Amino acid sequence: MKYLVMVQGAQADYDAMNGRASAHSPAWSESELKAMFAHMNAINDDLAESGELVDAQGLTEPARTRHVTADTEGRPVVTDGPYGETKEVLAGYWVLDCESLGRVTEIAARVARCPVPSGAPVFPVVIREIDEAGGGDLGGGETG
């Protein structure tokens, strides 16, 4: 089964990783950043070796996000920041092909053990099964 494993963050976290502390998050040191990247790279290497890694990406800071909707005539309406310090967004993800929910949960727990500076916020690691059959139950359950 394929799963999407997601990590969250906020603009303040990206700022902190660039040395700008806030009430939300302390500034990260170079050694703390290196430890975080080493942790994530080790996970990616192990998942590639096991054949479970389909894709993995970190995302740019929320301030570079664009939201696109359509106006009443179907023309695109594009908006961007500012983003509040505590507004959580998707910070990165893995697409994994794992034998079970138990296995992907083990991987998510490893991701959750990523080293961060003392006082940094802790976000949950989110697991979503990918609906490969395209028949997802959007109505919330069986009918009839």
DSSP code for 63:
G
Q: Which domains does the chain have, with CATH numbers?
A: 2-129 (3.30.70.1060)
* The three-state (H, E, C) secondary structure of 69-114, written as one string: EECCCCCEEEECCCCCCCCCEEEEEEEEECCCHHHHHHHHHHHHCC
pLDDT tens track, the chain, 144 positions: 999 999 999 999 999 999 999 998 999 999 999 999 999 999 999 999 999 999 999 999 988 888 899 999 999 999 876 555 557 889 999 999 999 999 999 999 999 999 999 999 999 999 999 998 887 665 554 443
pTM: 0.85
Asked if residue 85 lies in contact with residue 23, where contact means CB atoms within 8 angstroms, the answer is: yes
Cα separation, 46 vs 53, in Å, equals 9
End-to-end distance of the chain based on CA atoms, in angstroms?
A: 28
